[in-house]
Amino acid sequence: MMIHTNELEIQQSSGTSYWDCFKGIDLRRTEITVMVWMIQQTSGSPMIGWGTYFMTQVGLTPGDAYSLGVAQSAMGFVGTVGSWFLMPHFGRRTLYLWGQIVMLVGLVVIGGLGVPKLSTGTGWGIGALMLTLTFAYDITVGPVCYCLVAELPSTRLRIKTVVLSRTMYNVAGIIIGLLQPRFMNPTAWNWGGKTAFFWAGFNLLGLCWTYFRLPEPKG
């Protein structure tokens, strides 16, 4: 069976090139796979990835930030497992869209709490919202992205389409890895909680794209 599957895949992909990913209807499929992976990077996940350090910059002690960081990982695990049960019943587009909406609200509120002078109270408020943001991401945008990337490319160009979209994802990751620490670091740009406003803007752009351009592959 493995040999047969390998030969079938070779037959399906033979005679194709990366340029074919940008021709006809496959251009649309390439756009979708690239965008859903880019949105996964820019919808607010940088805040989650740097959650523990971020919380130390918004008023929490390192010990409290670490405890919330552990809780954040637990929320991510629960959210990911929960997505397994949601995807068979709700469309991928539905989950992806609503995940972005919930994250947008969370980011705006976090940014708002970052405007006043730092205090323990606002720090705990931002910490609680970070847990909510993590759960929303890991039950929707995070895992649903991988279903969309696998389901939407054409069979004969699936491997090449995924390679292109993952490359763009990694390029975005490099840029984000340079920006996010500077946003939070008090010796750099020192945005603190207001960093969430930046990602809320990108989230809103991604949300508009999802609403108008993302189809529903369920079924």
Q: What is the pLDDT of residue 9?
A: 67
In a domain, 82, yes or no: yes
Q: What angle do CA 29, 158, 135 make, to 5 degrees?
A: 75
* Residue 9: inside a domain: no
Confidence of residue 219 (pLDDT cuts 50, 70, 90): confident
- 4 is a domain residue: no
Res. 4: pLDDT tops 80: no
* CB 143 within 8 Å of CB 134: no
Residues 195, 26: Cα–Cα separation, whole Å? 36
Which residue range forms the structural domain that includes residue 131?
Answer: 28-213
* Total count of domains within the chain: 1
Residue 7: per-residue pLDDT: 73
pLDDT of the residue at 138? 95
Q: For the segment 137-185, what is each residue's pLDDT rounded down to a tens digit?
A: 999 999 999 999 999 998 888 889 999 999 999 999 999 999 999 998 9
Q: Is residue 11 part of a domain?
A: no
Lookup result for tokens 């980011």 = 107
Residue 22 counted as domain residue: no
* 152 contact partners, CB below 8 Å, separation of at least 6: 29, 32, 33, 215, 217
Query: Rounded to whole angstroms, how far apart are CA atoms 33 and 169?
Result: 10
Residue 96: predicted pLDDT: 96
Distance CA 219, CA 212 (A): 20
Kindly state the average pLDDT of the residues 96-112. Answer: 96
**Summary mean pLDDT of the chain:** 90
If you count DSSP H runs as helices and E runs as strands, how many of each does the chain have, helices first? 10, 0
Tell me the C-alpha to C-alpha distance, in Å, between residue 146 and each of 49, 83, 166, 195, 217.
18, 12, 11, 27, 13
Q: What is the CA radius of gyration of the chain?
A: 19
What is the CATH classification number for the domain harbouring 131?
1.20.1250.20
**18 within domain boundaries:** no
Residue 109 and residue 115: Cα distance in Å, rounded?
A: 10
* Residue 10 placed within a domain: no
Task: Name the residue with higher pLDDT: 6 or 215.
Answer: 215
Q: How confident is the model at residue 85 (pLDDT cuts 50, 70, 90)?
A: very high
Specify if 14 maps to a domain: no
Note the pLDDT of residue 12.
62
